[in-house]
Structure 1
Amino acid sequence: MSERRVLHSALRQTAWVESILRAAGELLDVELSGPVDLGGSSRSTVLRCGTAGGGSVIVKAFTNEPESLRAFTAEAAGLSLGIAGPKVLGVDPEVPLLVMADLGSAPTLADVLLGNDPAVAESALLAWAGGLGRLAAASVHRRADLTRLWSRYDKGLLSWGDEPWIAQRATELLALLDEAGIAVPPGLGEELAGIGTAGGEEYPAFTPGDTCPDNNLLTPEGLRLIDFEAACYQSVFLTAAYCRMPFSSCWCVFTLPAGMAAEIEQAYRAEVVGVYPALAEDEVWQAGMRQATAVWTVDATVRLLPRAAEDAPLHRTRRPVPTRRQVLRHRWEMASALEEYPAFARTMRALLREVAGGWEVAPLPGYPAFAN
């Protein structure tokens, strides 16, 4: 990039930040200053800003791209539900942006999993799973409230809870298999249609959507969740699968010590059986978990396989981090044992043999915190 283009980009970013500060300050009727960029994403800019009184707030502003607008609506509605996440101090649907209470600079679950203290990491995992379970249980009777809040901040886009993303991923998987020259076993289409019911209405609960390790703060007051850009109601199994896999759609994917995934899964399950007593039945629970594992494996395959021709770390800056190929192979290995979906399991074994068989990458390692 030329020096002139770099300067132009910097000036444009400065102007954008200044406009965010101005809009957020007017919303709160307070002067904001000293913005610190907390990362954000291609959809949003997240700033920690000082207030005239010496405190600080978090300002999150979104672009006007369709996915950014959906993320704004989900964040505004999900946080305004008031059962998880930082307190909402103000919402400007026009910019659009939110101002939230500042939860401070506590370590995230990702920080401790990539650290070197196994006791802290295990305790944090149990707090995370139990906290998600309590959130799910507390949310069961609040769905109408979320619908009302979504309408308040609606930008004309479907929520993830209403979008048929699982069925869309299944269609994309079939196309990918064809492109890769993988023969589709008889019955795969029917099995994928059945797997697609995992997002259904039988055991719905609220989720922030992206419950990955870097979106969970370990504060002195306990676990606090951030990032509600995909907040919606979905099957509890789709959330619980993050315990078993672990972290179904995330970059922070390593292996856990023997038995630990089952332990954190049980911490989540123990919280939701109070509102859904049928989940105490092992047959019901295990069937739902296997179905959710299949859903997330399809999702990972569709997202990562097209980019796996060039192996690369899953995160741009965090280290250590696994590569695309390491995570795909790990997901396919787990899913190849889902024998109640025989065509799907055969497909996973075909991917391991005909695609991953040529990859010269190390097996997925364990989380650094448990290395010793």
Structure 2
Amino acid sequence: MSADDPRPDEMSTEAILRAASKALGVELSDPADLGGSLRSTVLRCRTAEGGSVIVKAYGAEPEALRGFTAEAAGLSLRLAGPELLGVDDSVPLLVMTDLGNAPTLADVLLGQDPEAATEGLLTWARGLGRLAAESVHRRADLARLWTTYGGGTPTWEEDPWLERNMADLLGLLSGAGIEAPPGLAGELARIGAISEDDYPAFTPGDTCPDNNLLTPDGLRLLDFESACYQSVFLTAAYCRMPFATCWCVFDLPAGLAEEIERAYRAEVAVAYPALTDDAVWQAGVRRAIAAWTVNMTVWILPRTVEDGPAHRTRRPVPTRRQLLRHRWEMASTLEEFPAFAETMRLMLREVAGAWDAPPLPGYPAFGG
């Protein structure tokens, strides 16, 4: 792009449409805005032949550019998600196949059909486990593709987000007037040591319910902006918590979290037979729960000064305070990290105790 070109985040819909048409080699028209995010614009566009494609254009800030690189590289692996049809790394934007209007996992969990919700959860877990197992030998390919699309953009695997979160939690405790229990810093170092080298596998990064389409052909994943290789335990924790970094979080019926976790584990153990060992599995998942709890505490706690819904538009949805309380309650049982578990109990008593935040209800599909 020349110095006279508009910033990508200031591009008009018409400019995005022209760039996408050029990248695809087919004239596009009738763009419909699908929402996107602060980092991207997502359009459904008609082709000259009467079909449709999805165009995703990214902003110019560093996190948006990293999202573009991750999505372009991740989709280029052709392991999951829509087919990548065209790329323009100067805008930047992607053109992808249109997967249609199939319901998402969030749709069925917030619906009224318990059988559809149960099957959706199992399809999600099996699909993620199968993706992980099939991706184990493709890590070098992702690194090569990242270089192709991103140049010097740091990868998600190079981002020390775990270590940064551990340090930030200690700062939050101090700001809240809570004295860190003896040994907490050492335990946080152990928790933060979970990494992409601890049974690594590919993940789109954001495997929350609204990014999973339940199509007639099976699970199709959306949103690869955080695509990377990371420990399978970090994905497994999504089954148990549930959905570690997401807004669509309610209580699951007794036994269902264990069932979907078993479904994920059975698939990923094909690539990593050591994960059939209960001691290995339980230790890894529980450490991942601690890591995600720290992550969400650091992210959400500063936003709970005034409580509000965890999503701008979707309903029903828990409040931010409800979500944090739920995370802290689960993490308070991680007795292999006694100082961390005590910290979570302190947060429940000293912070959540002052909130008027009721416990999470169940998912609507199960009568919650």
SS of the aligned residue for 2:137 comes to coil
Q: Which residue of 2 aligns with 1:331?
A: 327
2:219 partner letter = L
Q: Does 1:366 align with 2:357?
A: no
Unaligned runs of at least 5 residues, structure 1? 1-11
Q: Does 1:251 align with 2:238?
A: no
Residues 112 and 364 of structure 2 are in contact (CA less than 8 Å); yes or no, is this contact kept in structure 1? yes
2:208 partner letter = C
Matches within 5 A, 1:228-307: 228-307=224-303
Task: Indicate which of 24, 29, 32 corresponds to 1:36.
Answer: 32
Q: Which residue of 2 aligns with 1:195?
A: 191
Q: Kindly tell me the number of residue pairs found equivalent between the two proteins.
A: 361
Residues 14 and 205 from structure 1, CA distance in 2 versus in 1: closer, same or farther, beyond 3 angstroms? closer
Q: Which residue of 1 aligns with 2:80?
A: 84
1:327 partner letter = L
SS of the aligned residue for 1:234 comes to strand
1:162 partner letter = E
Q: Does 1:157 align with 2:153?
A: yes
Residues 131-184 of structure 1: per-residue CA shift (max 9 Å, x gap): 000000000000000000000011522211221100000011010000000110
Q: Does 1:138 align with 2:134?
A: yes
**What TM-score results when the alignment is normalised by the length of structure 2?**
0.97
1:362 partner letter = P
**Offset at residue 309 of structure 1 (A):** 1.1
Residues 170-212 of structure 1: per-residue CA shift (max 9 Å, x gap): 0110100000001101110100000011124130000000000
Alignment root-mean-square deviation, CA: 1.2
Unaligned runs of at least 5 residues, structure 2? 1-7
Task: Indicate which of 176, 179, 203 corresponds to 1:180.
Answer: 176
**Offset at residue 14 of structure 1 (A):** 9.4
SS of the aligned residue for 1:48 comes to strand
**Offset at residue 13 of structure 1 (A):** 8.9
2:88 partner letter = D
**Offset at residue 130 of structure 1 (A):** 0.3
Residues 70 and 155 of structure 1 are in contact (CA less than 8 Å); yes or no, is this contact kept in structure 2? no
Matches within 5 A, 1:12-161: 16-161=12-157
Residues 346 and 14 from structure 1, CA distance in 2 versus in 1: closer, same or farther, beyond 3 angstroms? closer
**Offset at residue 361 of structure 1 (A):** 1.8
Q: Does 1:318 align with 2:314?
A: yes
**What TM-score results when the alignment is normalised by the length of structure 1?**
0.96
Residues 75 and 231 of structure 1 are in contact (CA less than 8 Å); yes or no, is this contact kept in structure 2? yes
**Structure 1: which 4+ aligned runs deviate by more than 6 Å?**
none
Q: Percent identity?
A: 70
Q: Does 1:347 align with 2:324?
A: no
Distance 2:286 2:25 in 1: 51
Distance 2:240 2:223 in 1: 22
Residues 170 and 298 of structure 1 are in contact (CA less than 8 Å); yes or no, is this contact kept in structure 2? yes
Residues 175 and 15 from structure 1, CA distance in 2 versus in 1: closer, same or farther, beyond 3 angstroms? closer
1:337 partner letter = T
Residues 198 and 232 of structure 2 are in contact (CA less than 8 Å); yes or no, is this contact kept in structure 1? no
Residues 79-113 of structure 1: per-residue CA shift (max 9 Å, x gap): 00111000000111100000000000111000000
Matches within 5 A, 1:203-222: 203-222=199-218
Residues 66 and 154 of structure 2 are in contact (CA less than 8 Å); yes or no, is this contact kept in structure 1? yes
Residues 34-82 of structure 1: per-residue CA shift (max 9 Å, x gap): 1111111000000000001000000000011000000000000000011
Residues 69 and 155 of structure 1 are in contact (CA less than 8 Å); yes or no, is this contact kept in structure 2? no
Residues 184 and 340 of structure 2 are in contact (CA less than 8 Å); yes or no, is this contact kept in structure 1? yes
